[in-house]
Chains A and B, each alone.
Chain A
Amino acid sequence: MGAAALAEPIPLRATAAQTRIRRLLSLLATHAVLMAGAVFMLLPFVWMLMTSLKSPGEIFSADFTLWPRRFSAVENYDRALTTAPLLRFALNGFIICFGILVVQLLVAIPAAYALAKLKFPGRNPLFVLVLLGLCIPVQVPALPLYIALASLGLLNTYFAIMFPFFLSVFAIFLFRQFFKSFPDDIINAARLDGMSEFEIVWRIVVPSAWPAIAAFSVFSAVAHWNDLYWPLIVVSDTRLAPPPLGMMFFADAETGSNYGALTAAATVLTAPLVIAFLVARRRFIEGITMTGVK
């Protein structure tokens, strides 16, 4: 009896060990794939960062090393910051992203609320139009917009850079999905308490929508901080250039072949976004998963 009871658990323990090994292997495999993806995506950034630390001679040397043998970070960053108005480009980026984002939120939030919660004739056709709007790339209306801005004499202004992005159908769509899940009873209670629809939007619905607003803000800021296409069309003045356009002007100028300084400038201009995302990443992920938009 005793021997049988002792003999019994041994095969069981063996299978437990087997499952543990199997789980470990699958965990390793999953992480290997994810790591490969991460390396693939991060390598350009790492390369940029390392190049910005190297001396010009080492950048073009045939034997490649990731870690610089001799650091010339100070020279590279000094050169980048003194020969190009990098801080000016970053400031332009802030002004443009902030301006676009504020108007986008002011317009998209009430529109999304109306599409999600108000009953009016033509609501569904309007929403279909919003969805169709998602399919139109910015390049399509670029020419008419350019002509309009040119004939109004508004080229080479912040307004010209921001104008095409004031209405974001993506924001309307994202917020509509989010507002859909907001309880109707709370809105009805607010109406009974005497709130107008505008007050309901800004005082009741928006405070509950911060995850969605944070998520959209990251999308919007990244897209417009990095946008080269539209600023290239409407801006020729260096003082108005957002970061990518500024980089282009900088690369064209005498520093064209100085890759150390160039990558230093790129690092300076990429850093704010990366930092902002790291700060807001929990909210961002929350917002994305809550709206069901992936």
Chain B
Amino acid sequence: MASVELKSIGKSFGSTPVLGGIDLAVADGEFMTLVGPSGCGKTTLIRIIAGIESQDAGAVLIGGSSIDHLRPHERRVAMVFQSYALYPHMSVRGNLSLPLVMSRLRLHERVPLIRLLSSRRRETMHSIEGEVEAVAQQLQLGALLDRRPAQLSGGQRQRVALGRAMVRHPDVFLMDEPLSNLDAKLRVHMRTELAELHQRLGATFIYVTHDQVEAMTMSDRVAMMDAGHILQLGTPTELYGRPANVKVAQFIGSPTINLLPGSVGSNDAVELLGRRLQLAVDLPAGSPLTIGLRPEALTAVPANTAPADAGSLPARLRRRENLGAEHILHFDLPGAALPPVVARAPPELQLPADGHVALTFDPLACHLFDPSGARVEARRAEGSRDPVVVPFRS
């Protein structure tokens, strides 16, 4: 087992920079997820760890020692590819045993005909066979060992790809969007299986995905990447609860966070759409802010019953999506040309027939971001107990 350390990894394809000095330390046995929009460099990073690509700058350390001079198979890493990359002309058994055949048999023991001269080969093949069977049992592939990849379903292929990584007992598993070719139901199922597999094996997992749900549900820690840089590194709870950047806030969470325009008023007070919130920041008056509110932070109440000490916004219901356990409400903010505001609500929530409501929220649930996108810490404003009602600026 081994930790993985990346030291200022830089990479560009031609004149296009892909990675701009990535530093990342993955602890032994950790499930680390690299998440980000497509083109953010996460796949390139994992391929550099695997040795498929070479970095232009920086170093990769596994278990504390540099592995940059090692070829892919010498790095004790295994990779699961998005396309599974199974050998199409080999049976499942052949696919699973190939990594072991390559590492345990010498060259002359692999050459057709000549290999018949080796007596050691038969014993080795026997033990390989046993290990392949064991892995196949673990992944419920026992009945499929003699099939070709083309005769398997997507989920079965995925298991074979996983098994091919497992037979080598690698220190580090690298997974490049392994679930993205599965249908939605199977993906949910495989999330659980992968998380359990990680617990059982105790190996280090580095997992690449563009699906924030996968990142949130399986990882010990998540590194959110964008444009070749890590925007934030932390536990899923940290990324969701305290996003360090407006891009992180937008990417993590479904439905997406609501972003509303705000600014800093007098006495450091935060104003949302011209309404003063009970929040203060240390920024000069007049600075623009982006205010993020998670859908679950918003509560819709009839317009006249908004509590005095909470933040509130007048709104009109536009659409109601029924998800069974909860409803997703889409609101228009009258007088403001903004995309609809989304809120979660329990299914039993009754709203006025005309749809006019007030959206209330705890001001401390607001995530504030400055124009560069960085998080701004806010504190509860003192003294201003009475809500200041300011009409909308249009």
Contacts and interface: CB of A to CB of B under 8 A. Distances in A.
A193 B102 contact: yes
B103 interface: yes
Contacts of B52: 188, 191-192
B282 to A, nearest CB: 50
B88 A194 contact: no
B89 A186 contact: no
B78 interface: yes
A289 interface: no
Interface in A197-215: 199, 204, 207-208
A196 to B, nearest CB: 8
B73 A189 contact: no
Nearest to B176: A185
Interface string B46-87: 010011100000000000000000011100011101110111
Contacts of B164: 189, 193
Interface of A is mostly: helix
A13 B72 CA distance: 69
Interface residues of B, number: 24
A292 interface: no
Given A185-B81, A185-B82, A192 B87 contact: no
B98 A192 contact: no
Contact of B72 (A185, A191, A204): A191
A159 to B, nearest CB: 26
B99 interface: yes
A194 B87 contact: no
A183 interface: yes
Contacts of B98: 193
Contact of A204 (B47, B78, B87, B99): B87
Given A192-B73, A192-B79, A193-B73, A186 B85 contact: yes
Contacts of B88: 186, 207-208
Contacts of A103: none
A59 interface: no
Contacts of A186: 85-88
A127 B85 CA distance: 27
Interface in B298-354: none
Given A183-B83, A185-B82, A191 B73 contact: yes
Interface in B209-242: none
B81 A189 contact: yes
A194 B81 contact: no
Contacts of A194: 73, 99, 102-103
Nearest to B71: A191
B89 A183 contact: no
B75 to A, nearest CB: 8
A193 B95 CA distance: 10
A194 B79 CA distance: 12
Nearest to B167: A193
A190 interface: yes
A208 B82 contact: no
A190 to B, nearest CB: 7
A185 B99 contact: no
A232 interface: no
Contacts of A190: 87
A192 to B, nearest CB: 5
A195 interface: yes
B366 to A, nearest CB: 44
A102 to B, nearest CB: 16
Contacts of B86: 186, 189
A183 B81 CA distance: 11
B85 A208 contact: no
Interface in A139-196: 183, 185-186, 188-195
Contacts of B73: 191-195
Interface of A: 183, 185-186, 188-195, 199, 204, 207-208
6 contacts: A185-B82, A186-B85, A186-B87, A188-B52, A189-B81, A192-B50
Given A183-B83, A188-B72, A191-B73, 19 more contacts: A183-B85, A185-B83, A186-B85, A186-B87, A188-B47, A188-B52, A188-B81, A188-B85, A191-B52, A192-B52, A192-B77, A193-B73, A193-B102, A194-B73, A194-B99, A195-B102, A199-B110, A207-B89, A208-B88
Interface of B: 47, 50-52, 71-73, 77-79, 81-83, 85-89, 98-99, 102-103, 110, 164
Q: Which 3 A-B pairs have the closest CB atoms?
A: A194-B73, A194-B102, A185-B85
